[in-house]
Amino acid sequence: MAAVDSAYTDFDSDRAMVERSQELSSKELSEAHDKAAQAQTRLTDALETISEGFFLFDASDRMVLCNSRYRELYPGLADLMRLGLEFEHLIKTVVERGIVPDAAARPQEWIEHRLARHRNPGGPFLHHQWDGRWIQISERKTQDGGTVGVFTDVTEIKRREEELAAARDKATEAQRRLVDAIESISEGFSLYDADDRLVIYNRRYRDMHGTGSIDVVKQGVSFEAILRNATASGEIPDAEGRVEAWIAERLARHRDPKGTHIQHRSDGRWIQINERKTDDGGTVATYTDITDVKQAEQAIQESEQRLRVIAEAAPMAVAIVTFDDGIIRYANQRFSEMFELEGSSALGLQAKNFYADPQHRERFIDALTEHGHVESMEMLLKRAGGEEFWALLASQRVQFEGRPAMINGLADISDRKRMEGELHKAIWASEQATRAKSNFVASMSHELRTPLNAIIGYSEILFEDAQSAGRESEMADLRKIQDAGKHLLGLIDNILDLSKIEAGKMTLYLETFELRPMIDSVAATITPLAKKNGNALVVNCADEVGTMHSDLTKVRQTLFNLLSNACKFTRNGTITLTVLRDMDEVVDWVEFQVRDTGIGMTPDQQAKVFEAFTQADASTTRAYGGTGLGLAITKSFCRLMGGDVTLVSEAGKGTTFVVRLPAVTRAASDAAGLAAEKRSERPQVAEPEHAPIVLVVDDDPNARELLRRHLQRGGYTVRLAANGEEAMQLARTLRPDVITLDALMPHMDGWAVLSAMKEDAGLAEIPVIMVTIVDNQGIGFSLGAADYLVKPIDRDRLVRAVDKCCPRGAARQVLIVEDDAPTSELMGRTLRQIDCTVTLAENGRVGLERLKEALPDAILLDLMMPEMDGFEFIARLRADSRWRRIPVIVVTAKTLTAEDRARLNGQVQHLVHKGEYSGKAVLAALDELVPRHARRACADRP
């Protein structure tokens, strides 16, 4: 810049010389021009050597000269750089070409400001260029009114200034974060320099000092000064009476730290101090308030002492065993007495030596490890002399003398186990008695239904004969016989229902049905009964009452029982059936109200009206008849469907029965299953980790719970499934070692589950144990039967069965295999009336001989026969390729067992129970079956 100033001075001097040359001679003028040219050259050379850009504008703001560096700084203006360029034009071009971004937002204002600064320079200023560079511009006026400017690229300087500012900001932020971090920690923090003067600390450190020293804690104070103030105010109990010695020890520990140490303060606090030296000779320390820990330690010591006192006074054996080595660390006197040990000889012994069964110990340790406690686990232990005994063990993990341990309480339950054994024997005897009762009821059903079949069937035939002949006097007697037979059959059915309800074997068959059509059907059936006693039946039921998902048959039977009772005990009155829907917070209910204006009941009569075989009193029984079973069965049905029946009555004014049922009924086994599974979620005997897994499948929650308990006590891991679908899912997931399977379950029964498992390659090899008790409800069609009829045979159903089996107009042959001659004759007579050719056989052996003579279109088969019963007959029938496709209709009064079902499964097309009113049921079964086989039968028949 000095060279520029020198050249510029020479130029001014030479120019003045040129002006004076006008007064000189020509020679002198020439010399003056040479000197001026030389000065101009020297100026130009000097300007080209400098690193800054340079321009010169004359007094009229026209460019006189500029150096190449100036052009380099403004490459976007290269086309303008020429002598005579007006400065204002230059500045406007800068704006137009966007060379200075700051000018874009306010172009005219920026131009005016730049011109003013150029014409009246006021010192250096900066321009930020479009390419990111920063240019410092220094302008000043010349003596002749022109303007000279120097342009310096200060981009690097600006970058360094920005980096320096950023570094300063980072340092400030780091300092702030450090302070925040120190303040945020829960411990006290301090940093002393090499001269033991406080450099930095947090508020927690200051607050840890007492009132005597807290005000001294500030930056620059010496560590020793803080110590002396603390001891002078009595903050350090350990320094009392030895202040100087304590200060010397504390200074030595501070200047040469060797780990943590604990300091007790006069206010009861305990402070743990951790110090270490820094690289520059200073000392950094953290201070932790461990008062709670120290108090907890003291409390533990006191608790252990109390525990010893309580254990000695406890009425049970108590032992504390350390968890890592299994050694008994404490045992009370009762523990020693229980295990026949002397004094304190139990201490130091291995607890595992007192287990009679190692598997019990493994289950106990696993449960304690997983849950931290064990409640009421039964263990087989042994005394010092080797005698084994049962004990009830409860355990809790604790800390004892600073080590993980378990405190165990034991009670000798040997006497209780003996009583349980006797109880199990009593339960088994009770189950045997129940089974005997069920067998008796089933046998009586068979024995009673068989003669009833003949009574009702023959009376019906005789009634039709008398009707055809016009013998009206005989028709009345025959109708009485039929009614008496039907009444007796109803009593048998009621007794069977009551027996099943008492045994817990009554099953629900759930379906969705419209309420209004069901009510209309019930009303149509009851109306003649109401009119018989001069009563009017009124039905209040909205058309939009909706649907119900329940057991339709049991709902209908409930209403029939209540309405028939109302009709029986009301004369010349009104019986009203009302149906309502009621939604509470959880359940949608359907309410049936049966109101009569009959004889009513006293409070004493109401109290016992739902008891079996009970009526209002003896006079009522004599006057109105009946067995007193209807209301007992109704009550049981309602509860089985998840509802109840109640009554309101006044003697002489009438009675109102209210049946309240859920609109959507859950199977009783499902509802009970939820409760049983909740019970099973309670703490149980711990299962060993590697024990065999048994999957228990049963829809009866009580059966599942009983099996679970037996198996767990036997050392097995047990998982439960309440239905077939859940069983299949769990079997695929768990791959159990064994499966116990109930045969009869809703939706997917045990036989279907077993079949599905055997078809699954992954499950086929799992052993399956069938555990079941089978009743006779709903068993017929699940066996694959073509029909299911109950003796006494309903003749209309028998006719329909035959029509389905054998098309009318074709020769139809039916083989009847029945040992009871009246029943056989009755069915034969019925079938001949619809043009069937009938062949009779008195037992299974004779039936096989008849098959060799001619192939029938269908076979009616009784199960209970001498010489060869129905089961053996079916087995031989299906073993012969000539006969195996003949449809079989089983006609029986037998209540089938699980074994019976297994023998029949897939072998018969229909199952008919002896208990309906005529031979119609068998005919209906044959009518359904034989058309599907008639073509084959005709082709195969010789």
| C-alpha to C-alpha distances, 767 to 38, 720, 916, nearest whole angstrom | 121, 16, 41
Contact 911, 780 (CB under 8 A): yes
Instruction: Kindly give the pairing relationship between strand 888-892 and strand 910-913.
Output: parallel
The strand order across the sheet containing 63-66 reads: 63-66, 53-57, 147-153, 134-141, 125-128
Query: Is 496 a residue whose pLDDT tops 80?
Result: no
Q: How far apart are CA 889 and CA 909, in angstroms?
A: 6
Q: Write the pLDDT tens digit of every residue in 373-387.
A: 888 888 899 998 888
pLDDT at 593: 94
pLDDT at 862: 84
Q: How far apart are CA 4 and CA 51, in angstroms?
A: 11
Contact 217, 201 (CB under 8 A): yes
DSSP state of 355: B
Once rounded to an integer, what is the mean pLDDT over residues 784-788?
A: 38
672 band by pLDDT with thresholds 50, 70 and 90: very low
Distance in angstroms between the alpha carbons of the first and the last residue of the chain: 138
Q: Write the pLDDT tens digit of every residue in 828-853.
A: 888 888 788 899 999 999 999 999 89
Bridge partners (DSSP) listed for residue 596: 575
- Orientation of helix 844-853 relative to helix 870-879, angle to 10°: 30
Query: Is 906 a residue whose pLDDT tops 50?
Result: no
Q: Write the pLDDT tens digit of every residue in 393-409.
A: 888 888 887 788 988 88
Q: What one-letter code names the amino acid at 131? A: D
pLDDT at 183: 82
Q: Write the pLDDT tens digit of every residue in 3-34.
A: 555 555 555 555 555 455 555 566 676 777 77
Once rounded to an integer, what is the mean pLDDT over residues 434-460?
A: 69
687 band by pLDDT with thresholds 50, 70 and 90: low
Phi and psi, residue 311, nearest 5°: -60, -40
Query: Is 804 a residue whose pLDDT tops 80?
Result: no
Instruction: Kindly give the pairing relationship between strand 125-128 and strand 536-540.
Output: unpaired
Query: Is 507 a residue whose pLDDT tops 80?
Result: no
Q: Of the given ranges (277-286, 296-305, 898-907), which has the lowest mean pLDDT?
A: 898-907
Query: Is 354 a residue whose pLDDT tops 60?
Result: yes
| C-alpha to C-alpha distances, 222 to 198, 215, 216, 228, nearest whole angstrom | 6, 13, 9, 10
Q: How far apart are CA 740 and CA 768, in angstroms?
A: 6
Instruction: Kindly give the pairing relationship between strand 836-841 and strand 812-817.
Output: parallel
More confident of the two residues 315 and 760: 760
pLDDT at 185: 82
555: nearest Cα among 706, 659, 684: 659
Which stretches of 50-125 are DSSP H helices? 68-73, 87-96, 107-119
Tokens of 500: 């099943």
Q: How far apart are CA 189 and CA 376, in angstroms?
A: 51
pLDDT at 715: 67
Tokens of 451: 């003669």
Tokens of 351: 């607890």
Q: How far apart are CA 412 and CA 791, in angstroms?
A: 59
Phi and psi, residue 258, nearest 5°: -130, 35
pLDDT at 784: 30
- The secondary structure element, H or E, covering residue 380 is strand 373-382
Query: Is 360 a residue whose pLDDT tops 90?
Result: no
210: nearest Cα among 196, 226, 223, 225: 226
Query: Is 195 a residue whose pLDDT tops 90?
Result: yes
Q: What one-letter code names the amino acid at 164? A: L
827 band by pLDDT with thresholds 50, 70 and 90: confident
Question: How much of the chain exceeds pLDDT 90, in percent?
Answer: 17
pLDDT at 214: 83
Bridge partners (DSSP) listed for residue 189: 286
More confident of the two residues 622 and 299: 299
Q: How far apart are CA 446 and CA 755, in angstroms?
A: 32
Once rounded to an integer, what is the mean pLDDT over residues 289-310?
A: 76
Q: Report the range out of 328-337, 660-669, 770-779, 900-909 with the highest average pLDDT.
A: 328-337
Beta strands in 743-852 (DSSP E): 768-770, 789-790, 812-817, 836-841
Contact 63, 56 (CB under 8 A): yes
pLDDT at 941: 39
pLDDT at 931: 47
Locate tokens 């068993």: which residue?
779
Q: Write the pLDDT tens digit of every residue in 607-641.
A: 778 775 555 454 444 444 455 567 888 888 898 88
200: nearest Cα among 221, 185, 171: 221
Q: How far apart are CA 580 and CA 567, in angstroms?
A: 22
Please report how many Cα atoms fall inside a 13 Å half-sphere around the Cα of residue 193, on the Cβ side: 9
Query: Is 602 a residue whose pLDDT tops 90?
Result: no
Q: Write the pLDDT tens digit of every residue in 55-88.
A: 999 999 999 889 888 888 888 888 888 889 999 9
Q: Write the pLDDT tens digit of every residue in 134-144.
A: 999 999 999 99
Once rounded to an integer, what is the mean pLDDT over residues 254-277?
A: 89
Q: Write the pLDDT tens digit of every residue in 45-60.
A: 778 888 899 999 999 9
Contact 738, 695 (CB under 8 A): yes
- Orientation of helix 414-469 relative to helix 472-503, angle to 10°: 170
Average model confidence (pLDDT) for the chain?
78
The burial class, CB within 10 Å (0-12 / 13-18 / 19+), for 718 is: buried
pLDDT at 450: 66
Query: Is 795 a residue whose pLDDT tops 70?
Result: no
Helix (H, G, I), strand (E, B) or coil at 100: coil
Tokens of 305: 């002492």
Locate tokens 């002949």: which residue?
469
663: nearest Cα among 826, 517, 512, 541: 512
Contact 789, 912 (CB under 8 A): yes
Contact 813, 837 (CB under 8 A): yes
The burial class, CB within 10 Å (0-12 / 13-18 / 19+), for 856 is: buried
Bridge partners (DSSP) listed for residue 374: 395
More confident of the two residues 28 and 652: 652
pLDDT at 197: 93
Instruction: Kindly give the pairing relationship between strand 738-741 and strand 768-770.
Output: parallel
pLDDT at 438: 65
Contact 59, 145 (CB under 8 A): yes
Region of 735 on the Ramachandran plot (φ > 0 left; ψ -120 to 50 alpha; else beta):
left
Contact 610, 635 (CB under 8 A): yes
The strand order across the sheet containing 693-697 reads: 717-721, 693-697, 738-741, 768-770
| C-alpha to C-alpha distances, 20 to 34, 47, 449, nearest whole angstrom | 14, 26, 160
